Structure 1
Amino acid sequence: MTDTAALARGLSAAITQAVRLHGAPLAEPVRRHALHVVADTVGVSIGGGRTPEMTRLRATQPPGGSATVLAPGAAPTTAEEAAFLNATAGSFLELDEGMRPTGHPGMHVVPAALAAAEVAHRSGAELLTAVVAGYEVAARLLTAFRLTPPTHPHGHLAGVGAAVAVALLLDEDPHAVAAIAATTPTVPVWNACYEGATARNTAMGLAAQNALRAVRLHRAGFRGSRESVGALFGQVTGQVVAADALDAELDPAEPAILRNYFKRHSACALTHGAIDAVLSLPEVPVEEISAVEVRTVANNLKLDRQAAPNDLSSRFSLPYAVAAALTRRASEISTFDYRPPVAELARRVRVTVDCELERQWPHHSPTQVVVHAGERLVATVDDPRGHHHDPLTADELRAKFLALTGEPGPQLWDRLLGLDREPDVITVLAPLRGA
Structure 2
Amino acid sequence: MAVRAFVDTVGVAVAGAHEPVVSAAKSVMVPEGGSSNRAATLLTSGERVSAAHAALINGTAGHALDFDDHLSDVNGHPSVVLVPAILASGEENRLSGSAMLEAYVVGHQVMCAVSEALPVRPHWAHGWHATETVGVLGVAAAVARLEGLTIREIQSALGIAASMAAGSRQNCGFSVKPVHAGMAAMNGLLAARFVAAGIDADPDQLEAPIGFFHLFGVDSDLSKVESVLGERWTVTTRGLNVKRYPACYAVHPAGDAAVDLAKAGLNTRDVAAIKVTVQPTGLTGPIHHRPTTGNQAKFSMEYTVAAALVDGRLGLDTFTDTHVIDEKIQHLVPLVDTCESTTPPVGPGEYEKWYATVQITTKNGETVHARGDMPHGYTHDPLTDSELDGKFAECMAVPGVVWDGTELLARLRNLEHCTNVREVLAESTRTPHFPSSPTELESATTAL
TM-score of the superposed pair, with normalisation by structure 1: 0.85
Asked whether the equivalents of residues 276 and 385 of structure 1 are also in contact (C-alpha less than 8 Å), the reply is no
Could you tell me which residue of structure 1 aligns to residue 243 of structure 2? 263
Asked whether the equivalents of residues 141 and 158 of structure 1 are also in contact (C-alpha less than 8 Å), the reply is no
Q: Secondary structure at the match of 1:290?
A: strand
Residue 360 and residue 91 in structure 1: after superposition, are their counterparts in 2 closer, same or farther (change >3 A)? Answer: farther
Could you tell me which residue of structure 2 aligns to residue 387 of structure 1? 378
- 1:39 matched to 2:7: yes
Q: Which runs of 5+ in 2 are unaligned?
A: 398-402, 433-448
| Residues paired across the two proteins, number | 398
Could you tell me which residue of structure 2 aligns to residue 219 of structure 1? 196
In 1, the alpha carbon distance for the partners of 2:211 and 2:52 equals: 25
* Residue range with higher mean Cα deviation, 401-410 or 346-355: 401-410
- 1:90 matched to 2:62: yes
Could you tell me which residue of structure 2 aligns to residue 19 of structure 1? none
Residue 242 and residue 96 in structure 1: after superposition, are their counterparts in 2 closer, same or farther (change >3 A)? Answer: farther
Could you tell me which residue of structure 2 aligns to residue 425 of structure 1? 421
Q: Secondary structure at the match of 2:157?
A: helix
Could you tell me which residue of structure 1 aligns to residue 268 of structure 2? 286
Residues 412-434 of structure 1, C-alpha deviations (whole Å, 9 max, x = no match):
11110100111000101225545
2:300 to 302, 317, 329: 317
In 2, the alpha carbon distance for the partners of 1:253 and 1:232 equals: 27
- 1:369 matched to 2:358: yes
* Residue range with higher mean Cα deviation, 73-82 or 370-379: 370-379
Could you tell me which residue of structure 1 aligns to residue 179 of structure 2? 202
Could you tell me which residue of structure 2 aligns to residue 409 of structure 1? 405
1:347 to 327, 334, 340: 334
Residue 56 and residue 204 in structure 1: after superposition, are their counterparts in 2 closer, same or farther (change >3 A)? Answer: closer
Residues 141-175 of structure 1, C-alpha deviations (whole Å, 9 max, x = no match):
12222314222223121211111111111122333
In 2, the alpha carbon distance for the partners of 1:227 and 1:344 equals: 55
* Residue range with higher mean Cα deviation, 61-70 or 368-377: 368-377
TM-score of the superposed pair, with normalisation by structure 2: 0.83
Asked whether the equivalents of residues 154 and 203 of structure 1 are also in contact (C-alpha less than 8 Å), the reply is yes
- 1:192 matched to 2:163: no
Residue 347 and residue 273 in structure 1: after superposition, are their counterparts in 2 closer, same or farther (change >3 A)? Answer: same
Could you tell me which residue of structure 1 aligns to residue 443 of structure 2? none
Asked whether the equivalents of residues 122 and 425 of structure 1 are also in contact (C-alpha less than 8 Å), the reply is yes
Cα distance, 1:255 vs. partner? 4.0
Q: Secondary structure at the match of 1:306?
A: coil
Residues 375-397 of structure 1, C-alpha deviations (whole Å, 9 max, x = no match):
32211222111111221111111
In 2, the alpha carbon distance for the partners of 1:297 and 1:208 equals: 31
In 1, the alpha carbon distance for the partners of 2:290 and 2:422 equals: 42
Asked whether the equivalents of residues 182 and 225 of structure 1 are also in contact (C-alpha less than 8 Å), the reply is no
Q: Secondary structure at the match of 1:368?
A: strand
Q: Percent identity?
A: 28
Asked whether the equivalents of residues 183 and 225 of structure 1 are also in contact (C-alpha less than 8 Å), the reply is no
In 1, the alpha carbon distance for the partners of 2:391 and 2:235 equals: 25
Q: Which runs of 5+ in 1 are unaligned?
A: 1-32
Asked whether the equivalents of residues 271 and 360 of structure 2 are also in contact (C-alpha less than 8 Å), the reply is yes
Residue 257 and residue 416 in structure 1: after superposition, are their counterparts in 2 closer, same or farther (change >3 A)? Answer: farther
In 1, the alpha carbon distance for the partners of 2:231 and 2:417 equals: 24
Asked whether the equivalents of residues 295 and 351 of structure 1 are also in contact (C-alpha less than 8 Å), the reply is yes
1:250 to 230, 244, 255: 230
Could you tell me which residue of structure 2 aligns to residue 111 of structure 1? 84
In 2, the alpha carbon distance for the partners of 1:392 and 1:364 equals: 19
1:74 to 33, 46, 50: 46
Residues 18-58 of structure 1, C-alpha deviations (whole Å, 9 max, x = no match):
xxxxxxxxxxxxxxx11001110111111111213323543
Could you tell me which residue of structure 1 aligns to residue 343 of structure 2? 356
Could you tell me which residue of structure 1 aligns to residue 445 of structure 2? none
* Residue range with higher mean Cα deviation, 155-164 or 251-260: 251-260
Q: Secondary structure at the match of 1:207?
A: helix
Cα distance, 1:364 vs. partner? 2.2
In 2, the alpha carbon distance for the partners of 1:88 and 1:305 equals: 21
Structure of greater relative contact order (alpha carbons < 8 Å, 6+ residues apart): 1
Residues 183-220 of structure 1, C-alpha deviations (whole Å, 9 max, x = no match):
221x2222212xx4212221111111011211231123
Q: Which residue type is aligned with residue 84 of structure 1?
A: L
Asked whether the equivalents of residues 407 and 429 of structure 2 are also in contact (C-alpha less than 8 Å), the reply is no
Residues 286-320 of structure 1, C-alpha deviations (whole Å, 9 max, x = no match):
22111111111122222264133111111111111
Residue 198 and residue 88 in structure 1: after superposition, are their counterparts in 2 closer, same or farther (change >3 A)? Answer: same
In 1, the alpha carbon distance for the partners of 2:163 and 2:350 equals: 34
Q: Which residue type is aligned with residue 401 of structure 1?
A: F
Asked whether the equivalents of residues 46 and 430 of structure 2 are also in contact (C-alpha less than 8 Å), the reply is yes
Residue 349 and residue 228 in structure 1: after superposition, are their counterparts in 2 closer, same or farther (change >3 A)? Answer: farther
Could you tell me which residue of structure 2 aligns to residue 100 of structure 1? 72
Cα distance, 1:85 vs. partner? 0.2
Q: Secondary structure at the match of 1:364?
A: coil
Q: Secondary structure at the match of 1:38?
A: helix
In 2, the alpha carbon distance for the partners of 1:203 and 1:215 equals: 18
In 1, the alpha carbon distance for the partners of 2:300 and 2:105 equals: 32
In 2, the alpha carbon distance for the partners of 1:319 and 1:419 equals: 41
Asked whether the equivalents of residues 291 and 303 of structure 2 are also in contact (C-alpha less than 8 Å), the reply is no
